Amino acid sequence: MLVEDNEIDVMAFERGIKKNEVPNPLTVAENGQVALDILRGEHPTKTVGPQRIVFLDLNMPIMTGVEFLEEIRRDPELNSTVVFVLTTSDHEVDLVAAYKKNVAGYILKSRVGDACRNLHDLMRSYWRIVVIP
């Protein structure tokens, strides 16, 4: 799942998945509240499978990434979800807040750039080798 409100970033992520032949389906949520609704099976049209990895932007309207992390970590059905932060924020406060909520990694969009293939390789490898509850 990609939780991202910037349509250009969504399109870039989708292109990267297609180009790098990542076989897993991608569900996109435009903010943290929509992502929670999808993960809880409460969204009217979108669903996501039981094995989930979330790439999360922090700066979004309605429910920010940090608020999403707080909510997901409190939910016994979702608290084991693997979350990678994928954001423009290089503020130490955001970094610390994310890791306090047990993110698997904090990735700056500015550092991904041409290394987008590495991000998708990471995702593909993660799905193949890591056992997720």
Concatenating the DSSP letter of every residue in 75-86 gives -TTTTT-EEEEE
Domain extent for 16: 2-129
Whether pLDDT at 130 is above 70 = no
Per-residue pLDDT reduced to its tens digit, 34-85? 999 999 999 988 887 766 789 999 988 999 899 999 999 999 999 989 999 9
In which element (H, E) is residue 32 found? Answer: helix 32-39
> Where residue 36 sits, what CATH number does that domain have?
3.40.50.2300
Instruction: Count CB-CB contacts under 10 A for residue 58.
Output: 23
Number of domains in the chain: 1
Contact 30, 4 (CB under 8 A): yes
